[in-house]
Amino acid sequence: MAIRTTYETKFRRRKEGKTDYRKRLALVRSRKIRLVVRKTNTRIIAQAMQYEPIGDKVVAVADSKELSKYKFYGTNNTPSAYLVGYLIGKKLGKKQCVLDIGRRSPSHGGVVFAALKGAVDAGVEIPYNADALPSEERINGKTLDDYAKKLGDKAKTTFAGYIKEGINPGEIQKAFEKAKAEIAKVKA
């Protein structure tokens, strides 16, 4: 007869594939604000979280859907991720944070690191490796403009969301710079 079980049930969020508790414990032990960046199918969400024993406290939030206030079409691409990072960085001010990418594999040049670059450019202190950041052409939308020119007439269907916001294909870089200038006025 067995005295004890041989199998230990995992935590619910670990079973669901949502939380890596080893990584989370290391981040919480740093006692710094965690910059949590998540990419969904349609948007980028960035949250500044502070650990408290009763539960994490949200310090600031930025979402790519907020970018419409700054006349930019917010979706889940690199320019949107940078602007979301820049926006949350402006909301945070000059604080120290640590990046929390969750269970995502770190993909150098990805949208998570574009959001990191935006937060750093806004004045937040976050340790990072410059090799992980996307190129400046990807961040400011130049590659999207080049792609729109390459598509020609098909760009109207591909970039329909941008057209709906009043941004013509091929003018994404200009809209990015205008949105960045507007976000720069945000106070912590």
Mean pLDDT score across all residues of the chain: 89
Q: Is residue 170 part of a domain?
A: no
pLDDT-above-70 percentage for the chain? 98
Q: Is residue 162 part of a domain?
A: no
What per-residue confidence (pLDDT) applies to 2? Answer: 67
Q: Is residue 186 part of a domain?
A: no
Is the pLDDT at 170 greater than 90, yes or no? Answer: no
Q: Is residue 185 part of a domain?
A: no
Q: Which domain holds residue 91?
A: 15-134
Query: In this predicted model, which residue has the larger pLDDT, 48 or 101?
Result: 48
Q: Is residue 81 part of a domain?
A: yes
How many domains does the structure of the chain reveal? Answer: 1
Task: Using pLDDT thresholds of 50, 70 and 90, give the confidence band for residue 48.
Answer: very high
Q: Is residue 57 part of a domain?
A: yes
Report the CATH number at residue 33.
Answer: 3.30.420.100
Is the pLDDT at 93 greater than 80, yes or no? Answer: yes
Query: In this predicted model, which residue has the larger pLDDT, 25 or 135?
Result: 135
Please state the pTM of the whole predicted model: 0.88
Q: Is residue 120 part of a domain?
A: yes
Neighbour order of strands in the sheet with 33-39: 57-63, 44-50, 33-39, 97-100
Q: Is residue 116 part of a domain?
A: yes
Maximum mean pLDDT: which of 10-14, 30-34, 73-77, 124-128: 124-128
What is the per-residue pLDDT across 107-139, written as a single tens digit (0 to 9) for each? 899 999 999 999 999 999 999 999 999 999 999
Q: How far apart are CA 188 and CA 184, in angstroms?
A: 11
